[in-house]
Amino acid sequence: MAEPDAVQTFEDGLTKIRGAYEQALRDATDEPELRLVNGRYVGPQGELTKLLKLMPKLPGDRRRELGQRANALKQEIQTTFDVVLDGIHRRARDAELTGPSLDVTLPGRWPMPGRLHPITRIRNEVLEILVSLGFDVADGPEIELYENCFDKLGFPPDHPATDEHDTFFIEGGKPSGPHSVLLRTQTSTIQVREMSRREPPLAIVSPGAVYRRDDDATHSPMFFQLEGFLVDTDVTFAELKGVLTLFLRRLFDEHVAVRFRASYFPFVEPGGEVDMSCVFCRAWEGDKERTTACRVCKGNGWMEILGCGMIHPVVFENVGYDPEKYTGFAFGMGLDRIAMLKYGIPNIKLLYDNDVRFLSQF
């Protein structure tokens, strides 16, 4: 329905916009401002947009002409917008090219380089020593057969280590047979795996993750061990003592004293545990007062460091070696424990929390 005032309103609107838009656009000093001003004319709520919405109200004989004028104005606004925007871009580029170059007085941002995890560092140090003594490095799976973890290492079926409270069995409860699958509880599995596929002489070490249902300040359900063993004809306990003493002295301090205590592990006979003089109070220096006050060895001057022994004939039989012909020794240690002792870390959880404040101290 044509309204008599609509033509007047339309024409006044066009005149007003025409008189103002150009200056308004040219006054804009940057792109966001320019776009804002442009929107006031041709945006969804812009003045010209609103006028165009009046078109249906114009009388038929004027509609065409006024529509053309409005569109022409819209086109002019677009052209001016383009010219002004181009000018803004050009000025910004000129300013960049002619302005001061780079502010070299700004302090740089320091990159945070990564570093090796303390357990990785210890593993590398330990391997370096043992490889220099002639040991090969082997690897094995963390998901293991029951028989490789227990049976073939001489564990009786009712040994506490095979209990559900100690072991993570995969697929349900306590296994029904040697082919059941579990997360290995010890790297001694490598003895079975390597001996089953190679003939003596053998000297092998193998670091890796192991799993037990254990969780407190000194135990984590996943931790790292290193297993070592050597098989040949005529290997004696003397070689075992020699290798381990040399190893501990290289790793900790050339002066540490080492002692062997009888102990039981199903896959060695005789079996033993190795103590080393306390590296915190430096017990070998004989300062009684310092040792008495030592929190780590609790004043007795020794700390337990690893398990070891002469490989049990039953293990040789289980892997197809002749126990009359071959002898050998084996040892196993917790790499977490060694890292804790070497770096004075009080709680095993610190090794697995991934706290950068802790890790960046190594």
For ligand DAH, the binding residues (CB under 6 A) are 186, 188, 227, 265, 268, 307-309, 330-332
Beta carbon of residue 290, minimum distance to ligand DAH (angstroms, whole number):
31
Q: Which is nearer to ligand DAH, 191 or 291 (CB)?
A: 191
Question: To which H or E segment does residue 271 belong?
Answer: strand 268-277
Q: Which is nearer to ligand DAH, 188 or 220 (CB)?
A: 188
Beta carbon of residue 237, minimum distance to ligand DAH (angstroms, whole number):
12
Beta carbon of residue 265, minimum distance to ligand DAH (angstroms, whole number):
4
Beta carbon of residue 166, minimum distance to ligand DAH (angstroms, whole number):
11
Query: 328 in helix, strand or coil?
Result: strand
Q: Helix 60-98 to helix 31-42 angle, to the nearest 10 degrees? A: 180
Residue nearest to ligand DAH (CB): 332
Beta carbon of residue 286, minimum distance to ligand DAH (angstroms, whole number):
30
Q: Which is nearer to ligand DAH, 38 or 186 (CB)?
A: 186
Angle at 251 between CA 250 and CA 252, to 5 degrees: 100
SS3 content of the chain, % helix, strand, coil (to 5): 45, 20, 35
Q: Which is nearer to ligand DAH, 182 or 330 (CB)?
A: 330
Beta carbon of residue 189, minimum distance to ligand DAH (angstroms, whole number):
9
Query: 262 in helix, strand or coil?
Result: strand
Amino acid identity, residue 174?
Answer: K
Q: Which is nearer to ligand DAH, 34 or 308 (CB)?
A: 308
DSSP string over 156-224: -TT-GGGSTTT--BSSSSS-SSTT-EEE-S-TTHHHHHHHHH--SSEEEEEEEEEE-S--BTTB-SEEE
Q: Which is nearer to ligand DAH, 84 or 333 (CB)?
A: 333
Find how far residue 152's CA is from the centre of its chain.
Answer: 34
CA distance 187 to 201: 20
